[in-house]
Structure 1
Amino acid sequence: MTRSERLQQDGFEFLHAADTRAWLEQSGSLTDWPEFAASWNGMALDQYMADGGRYRRRRHAVFAAPVGDVAIARAPHQPHYQTVEYNPLHGGIERWFEPVPETIANGASMRTILRACRALFDSLSPGTSWHIETHQFRIEARSDEAGKPTPEGLHRDGVDYVLVLMIDRENIASGTTTIHGLDKVPLGSFTLTEPLDAALVDDSQVYHGVTAVRPLDPARPAHRDVLVVTFRAAQPQAA
């Protein structure tokens, strides 16, 4: 069974790092991976945390992938928006995050990831123009505050497809990704532990969430870094 067939049938797929690398490298190189991973350092705090938490840092970038053999292009910086239906905790407002640096957005690793996702999601939804959003997330954990990768809990993102890619874990316990059907029945779980471990999600078929993380050693810094990439069909332009 192909990757697209598994995703279509089950609504999700978990990939170990070696499998992710083999899939991604069909679409390009990861030659700048050390610089790519290091770019998670120094991100600003997420100022929109409705639970009052100070544990999430993030950056954001938007891309467009028109139908056909057209290169993926970065779009002007813009807010991230979700409806309250999909994100009761943070939905209904425009959230402006620090932009992903141009060197990272146009670097080999990011472009390879975007091309690989596009090829896969094109096979599932041929003839679609894609609105793509990328999110760099760092979730920090301290002895007095657990880090919540998904503070909104079990959720859908209101898109078509999602990639969650592990970048780094430092001094972290837990952080298990869980998948549930539309009836909320558990379908699977997987802990992203190694760089390039990944989860692919068909957002129309399943809910997903991640358990809170805590430090293994409370005296040391602890964080969980992931890249989240979402693809949704672009709205047609008005005539």
Structure 2
Amino acid sequence: MREGAAGGTEAGTDPIDAARRALASVGTFLMPAADLWRSIGADTDTWGRFSAHWEELVPDPYAEEQGVHRLRRYGQFRYRVADGALEPTAHREFVQPDDSNVLYLGRDRHFEPLTAAFLEDPLFERTMQLVGRIAPVLDEAPEWTVWVHPFRVVASADNEGRPTPEGLHRDGVTLVSSLLISVDNAVGGESSVFGPEGDRLVTTTLREPGTFLLGDDRCTWHGVSPIRPADRGKPARRDVLVVTFTPSAPCGGT
């Protein structure tokens, strides 16, 4: 399908209901920025404060091994459906399932934790609550494990930026989402989502801050093409917030 074919909402439609329907039927949903901003109560000032947290990210040494200039932080949480409570868990290494990221099979990666200012930002909590209201359409689990990854990918004239150096992939979770925070001087960065038989469900370039792409990670594959500077004399930058949800183990224990 072409850009936006699995997304967008008609006037008067609840974006959360639209996301649930699309995820349950198609496996992916593209929420326009205006719908996301309205759903979490964002405006120009609050979004500007939220996006400033991306200035506090630190280099990803594992991406550097692949020749990718990427900055990030990382946090893990529990989300309870009954009361919408989001609770941070102890900071620990990030581990992905063996059937997901082929670049880091069997490898624990250690990233710096999310800053206190990021965690206290109202837009962070409201975004988590929004995803928490969508996720139950995919599983009736009472509690979810949540991974939060703010990313910045940087490109220069002689080094393209690769948002997904592993290529087309799954994250080994239930719900995967990518929220565009900001983009500067960048061309490329086309996001694609494919179904289990290789059928293209969505192809879109996230341009407007607040555009939100969600997918059922159990039955779709996703990837993002490299970015390059539009003005080769200046770096290109693409900031996103990747959030994933998967049902917690029975005892609470990616």
Same fold (TM over 0.5): yes
RMSD: 1.8
2: CA distance, partners of 1:124 / 1:60? 24
Runs (4 or more) in structure 1 with deviation over 4 Å come to: none
1:22 to partner: Cα distance:
2.5
Q: Which moved more, 1:48-57 or 1:12-21?
A: 48-57
Counting aligned pairs with the same residue, the percent is: 33
For residues 169 and 3 of structure 1, do their structure 2 counterparts lie closer, same or farther at Cα, with a shift above 3 Å needed?
Answer: same
The residue aligned with 2:248 is: 234
**Which residue matches 1:203?**
217
Match for residue 167 of structure 1 among 181, 205, 209? 181
How many angstroms does 1:51 deviate by?
A: 4.9
Structure with the bigger percentage of helix? 2
- The equivalent residue for 1:183 is 197
Matched, 1:131 2:145: yes
With over 3 angstroms needed to count, the CA separation of the structure-2 counterparts of 1:42 and 1:22, relative to structure 1, is closer
Match status 1:105 vs 2:122? no
Q: Would the alpha carbon gap of residues 164 and 119 (structure 1) be closer, same or farther in structure 2, given more than 3 Å must change?
A: same
User: What amino acid maps onto 1:235 in structure 2?
Assistant: A
Aligned partners of 2:124 and 2:105: how far apart in 1? Answer: 27
- CA distance in 1: counterparts of 2:140 and 2:39, whole angstroms: 19
Other-structure match for 2:33: 17
1:218 matched to 2:202: no
Q: What secondary structure is seen at the aligned counterpart in 2 of 1:96?
A: coil
Using a 3 Å threshold, how does the CA distance of structure 1 residues 74 and 106 change in structure 2: closer, same or farther? farther
Aligned match for 1:8, one of 10, 21, 24? 24
Match of 1:89 in 2: 103
In the superposition, the TM-score normalised over structure 1's length comes to 0.92
CA distance 1:39–1:45, shift in 2 (3 Å): same
Name the structure 2 match of 1:69. 83
**Aligned equivalents of 1:217, 1:224: Cα separation in 2:** 14
Structure 2: segments with no counterpart, 5+ residues: 1-16
TM-score of the pair, normalised by structure 2: 0.87
Alpha-carbon distance, 1:84 to partner? 3.3
SS in 2 for 1:33: helix
1:135 maps to amino acid:
H
Q: Give unpaired runs (5+ residues) of structure 1.
A: none
Aligned-partner Cα distance in 2 for 1:171–1:50: 22
